[in-house]
Amino acid sequence: MFNSLSDRLTLTFKNLKRKGTVTESDLNATIRDIRIALLDADVALPVVKQFTGRIRERALGTEVHQALNPAQQVVKIVNEELAGILGGQTRRLRLAKNPPTVIMLAGLQGSGKTTFAGKLGRWLADQGHTPMLVAADLQRPNAVTQLEVVGQRAGVPVFAPERGNVHGHDAALASGEGTRSFGDPVDVAVDGVEEARRKGNDVVIIDTAGRLSIDVDLMRQASDIRIETNAHEVLFVIDAMIGQAAVETAKAFSDGVGITGSVLTKLDGDARGGAALSVATVTGQPILFASTGEGVKDIELFHPDRMASRILDMGDVLTLIEQAERAFDQVQAKEMTRKFLSDEDFTFDDFLDQMAAIKRMGSLKQMLGMMPGMQGMRAQLDSLDEREFDRVEAMVRSMTPFERNHPKQINGSRRARIARGSGTSVSEVNQLLERFGEAQKMMRQLKKGGGIPGMPGMPGAGGPGGGKRGKPAPKKKGKSGNPAKRAQQEQEAARKAQEARTASFENAFGAGAPGQGEGQADPSAGDLAGLKLPPGFEKFLDGGKK
């Protein structure tokens, strides 16, 4: 979504970093470029003025002129202020002390409230809650039916005593009674809360009606639902693609209903992102969630600092790590580690397991886009065909169990059969087997501690190139002349080497360090302080998850 804004800001900072010193005219030119980039991204003018004013105030002060690297200090200021207008700190849902917690969704028609209701229900269920969806949108044609379908996909029960408008908008006009002909949304919402309390559901998500424009009836109805249900959270669901209109809409709902937070939908679109950069400042309420796709799992907590890093092309490594932790099965990871440590070869069955885990993480393009510096490789990302994974999977599933575990036994006739079964060509099967053979060689090399073939060794790792050029390797500690003490030293060295290898493999396959439970700190985290990281990466190692 923020591609255009990110490109312009990245180019602006690249030009600034080329200068050895930063003068006042350089800062003025940079701030002017930032202002133009934000206005082009449909950010509200008051927000732009506030944002650039804060940057000017800090950049023209001693904070930049006394810095060792003024250009990087300007980037740091922009990053912090960008996180500020996105909401500052990450805010989570406030759950009621006495369940059920009532969450009301409000917004314009077409903003994605019904779809988000299912996503939020699934997200809460994954967190250990027992949510219930309430169909209080009785005006939009078949809105109740849509919520029931979404709830079924998300695995969340739906309370829908009224069917609402099932014949289209003309039915409401023909009845002569307006919305009352379909039932009272306020009564449905109140009954839904009572139903959840009776059945033991600890969270109630109320899907309310939207309109194509702001009107008095909508605001009165939404306000009545909030008052009658004593809603703990009122989330304003806004389409991130509406641009400048987000300001007026957000302010109207904030004044008329009294929202406690916002939700950005359709962040996977190609809009310029003005709504995301305006809504938190205009309403004074934080953004809680972001919807990034059509699937029921395409929802994530909104972290202002991480979103600011994405916009400035610094990546979002923490979110990528969290997705990997959710996607990779710990039992499979332990099994992969065991196989490698016991000299068992990497097979196509293992390959399928790893591919399934990657698919559970989401879109590969989105994952690669979270890596720092990937904005400059957008053309390569756009040309990436994710259907190639499906073709590879089809070839592997066309193999017999024997062939998956013995790829070297796949001769010409077997390759032709696999190609026919997967709808591919023999040359594609040959390429897959060749790449898989290279992968097996690499895994064997890693197991022996020799590093990746064709790549220089990492500092402190085994294999060629592990040390710095021109510097001799550090001297090893001498062994004792006492046979008993020497044997003890050798056993201790072998034990440490085995533990290091096991930890390395477990981390590689997503299992985490040995003995490291959920919520515990990584005992080796302190060793990261010695790494030379790219600018902007220090914050990923400082403080962990926020």
Query: Has residue 500 been placed in a domain?
Result: no
Q: According to the annotation, is 208 in a ligand binding site?
A: yes
Closest Cα to residue 469, out of 450, 453, 456?
A: 456
Indicate the length of the chain as a whole number. 546
> In this structure, is the dihedral angle defined by the CA atoms of residues 71, 305, 250 and 213, taken in order, positive or negative?
positive
Residues 168 and 140 in one domain: yes
Q: According to the annotation, is 111 in a ligand binding site?
A: yes
Q: According to the annotation, is 267 in a ligand binding site?
A: yes
Query: Has residue 486 been placed in a domain?
Result: no
Residues 110 and 67 in one domain: no
> Residue 31's domain is classified under what CATH number?
1.20.120.140
Residues 357 and 392 in one domain: yes
Give the whole-angstrom CA distance, residue 41 versus residue 450. Answer: 49
Torsion of CA 133, 136, 140, 145, to 10 degrees: 40
Q: According to the annotation, is 385 in a ligand binding site?
A: no
Q: What is the pLDDT of residue 150?
A: 93
Q: According to the annotation, is 12 in a ligand binding site?
A: no
pLDDT tens per residue across span 132-182: 999 998 888 888 999 999 999 999 999 998 887 776 654 444 444 444 457
Q: According to the annotation, is 113 in a ligand binding site?
A: yes
Q: According to the annotation, is 268 in a ligand binding site?
A: yes
Q: What is the pLDDT of residue 172?
A: 45
Q: According to the annotation, is 109 in a ligand binding site?
A: yes
Residues 265 and 393 in one domain: no
Closest Cα to residue 296, out of 114, 105, 122, 149?
A: 122
Query: Has residue 437 been placed in a domain?
Result: yes
Number of domains in the chain: 3
In 10 A of CB 523, how many CB atoms?
Answer: 12
- Residue 133 backbone dihedrals phi, psi, to 5 degrees: -95, 140
Residues 268 and 386 in one domain: no
Query: Has residue 409 been placed in a domain?
Result: yes
Beta-carbon contacts of residue 236 (< 8 Å; ≥ 6 apart): 106, 107, 250, 253, 254, 257, 259, 261, 262, 263, 279, 283, 285
pLDDT tens per residue across span 248-275: 777 888 888 888 988 888 877 655 667 7
Query: Does the structure show a pLDDT above 60 at 472?
Result: no
Contact 53, 4 (CB under 8 A): no
Q: According to the annotation, is 454 in a ligand binding site?
A: no
Query: Has residue 488 been placed in a domain?
Result: no
pLDDT tens per residue across span 298-344: 888 888 887 777 777 665 555 655 566 555 566 666 665 666 556 56
> Residue 239's domain is classified under what CATH number?
3.40.50.300
Residues 287 and 341 in one domain: no
Domain boundary, last residue among 85, 117, 146: 85
Residues 118 and 158 in one domain: yes
Q: According to the annotation, is 487 in a ligand binding site?
A: no
Residue 61 domain boundaries? 3-85
Q: What is the pLDDT of residue 100?
A: 92
Q: What is the pLDDT of residue 546?
A: 41
Residues 305 and 362 in one domain: no
Domain boundary, last residue among 447, 465, 492: 447
Q: According to the annotation, is 107 in a ligand binding site?
A: yes
What pTM did the predictor assign? 0.60
Domain boundary, last residue among 85, 119, 141: 85
Residues 361 and 283 in one domain: no
Residues 72 and 53 in one domain: yes
> Residue 383's domain is classified under what CATH number?
1.10.260.30
Residues 237 and 268 in one domain: yes
Average pLDDT, the chain: 74
Q: According to the annotation, is 312 in a ligand binding site?
A: no
Query: Has residue 515 been placed in a domain?
Result: no
Give the whole-angstrom CA distance, residue 546 versus residue 322. Answer: 12
Q: How confident is the model at residue 514 (pLDDT cuts 50, 70, 90)?
A: very low
100: cis peptide before it, omega within 30°? yes
Q: According to the annotation, is 210 in a ligand binding site?
A: yes
Q: According to the annotation, is 318 in a ligand binding site?
A: no
Query: Has residue 224 been placed in a domain?
Result: yes
Residues 149 and 297 in one domain: yes
Query: Has residue 544 been placed in a domain?
Result: no
Q: According to the annotation, is 412 in a ligand binding site?
A: no
Per DSSP, the residues of 346-371 read P-HHHHHHHHHHHHHH--HHHHHHTS
